[in-house]
Chains A and B, each alone.
Chain A
């Protein structure tokens, strides 16, 4: 947008020059060789061809993200607070991204990170010892949408992969690989957006909201939990 605003005066000066040049008789004699009807027909033809092609190809299937109904401003903090206050029942469904249940055949459970590089840590793991959980591990996954211009692109980022093996949960991809994402966006015209609620989320300043991932691991009350105290695992006991 800034580039456009910068270019506008230059283009306008150019247009004024073109106007005066076309008003000049000698210049007009040269340009008048192209009859107006041909210019108009060619231009309308190009526009109509674009219209026909657009409806022939249909909608693009290479679409990223999904629409976010409401703003996610400050919701990262909201979710964080509810998780660490153990108010799991009060967490909005929009943050809930799934559950995994794993059979537990041991009184002891270790949680180990496959990658020990904590510099780019981006997950929170919360463990609750729950008397209602018997012989299994329940993993609930919560996520604050990672959004660009009101579109949730969280799915572009891999979730952590948790594997249980012989009394041990191995967490893979805890440190995210560097992701380089590129998107194209077609926006409705500025004047039209004043009537639209659905697509009025266009933002001249590039609206961006980073998310956060939370894993809530519930294990039986009598299970002995082992983990490296230097890694971001938070343990609650009922």
Chain B
């Protein structure tokens, strides 16, 4: 019988700190992913050309979109990996159960997602400076700034929201795959097959529309938070059903 009394909150806190400091692959992959995206974004992300009898106009676009999409992909993969045995077994270095392990993992995923969103928004400044220093042409009106404070704040809310959604989806899929390996086949088929067969799945379209057509930042944040919490809770419940660790 142990003489030390430890609270669940204390264990979660220790495991959370452990994850934040020891899951180096997640941090490194975030930096590498964003560096690759920044390199691509530095060469512009699009543009257009038009010409007529007496004119030719060329516009080169710069944006943080590539960084955003790469980070969404990273958030999905990183959250998926957090649910794998190689990561969850590390929790057994501490006094642990499935609940503390899952809660600390969810807190870790939410934290790195928030940091990834901050990095993504900061990347805007880097890309803007690249455009400013390398493009010896006029900048189109309205695009000579990254945006005012409210625009930056709403962009951050959107970036953070989609990253949180991607990570919560990654987490639930990861939890499902840990329950049964058959999900690793079924889920990709369910996601990609309609696209390959050029078939529209109404529920999928509705889910996408539910988030992308929301024009209120507050409503969007609420929708994202509620959805992410539900998905994380579901993932937690699923992981709680797993058997005890086998050595």
Contact = CB atoms under 8 A, between A and B. Distances in A.
A148 B46 contact: no
Interface stretch (B93-101, B209-217, B236-244): B209-217
A101 interface: no
Given A4-B46, A47-B122, A181-B57, A14 B36 contact: yes
B54 A189 contact: no
A80 to B, nearest CB: 17
B232 to A, nearest CB: 21
A195 B141 contact: no
Question: What's the dominant secondary structure at chain B's contact region?
Answer: helix
A103 interface: no
Given A1-B45, A4-B45, A185-B140, 9 more contacts: A18-B29, A19-B77, A63-B138, A178-B55, A184-B62, A191-B158, A191-B159, A198-B151, A206-B59
Given A19-B77, A185-B143, A196 B137 contact: no
B31 A60 contact: no
Interface stretch (B8-16, B66-74, B172-180, B195-203): B66-74
Contact of B63 (A2, A44, A149, A187): A187
Interface in A169-202: 175-192, 194-196, 198-199
Closest 8 CB pairs of A and B: A206-B48, A192-B155, A191-B158, A64-B138, A47-B122, A50-B125, A184-B135, A50-B126
Contact of A62 (B34, B46, B139, B151): B139
**Dominant secondary structure at the A interface:** mixed
Given A47-B123, A53-B129, A54-B146, A185 B60 contact: yes
Interface size class of A (residues with CB under 8 A): 35 or more
Given A36-B28, A46-B126, A189-B159, A63 B50 contact: no
B154 A185 contact: no
Contact of B62 (A176, A181, A185): A185
B32 A18 contact: yes
B71 to A, nearest CB: 11
B91 to A, nearest CB: 19
B188 to A, nearest CB: 14
A120 interface: yes
Given A65-B141, A175-B54, A177-B54, A187 B62 contact: yes
A151 B141 contact: yes
A14 B138 CA distance: 35
Given A47-B125, A60-B144, A186 B62 contact: yes
B82 interface: no
B28 A183 contact: no
A114 interface: no
Interface centre among B45, B57, B132 (most CB of A within 10 A): B57
A184 to B, nearest CB: 4
A190 B161 CA distance: 13
B135 A192 contact: no
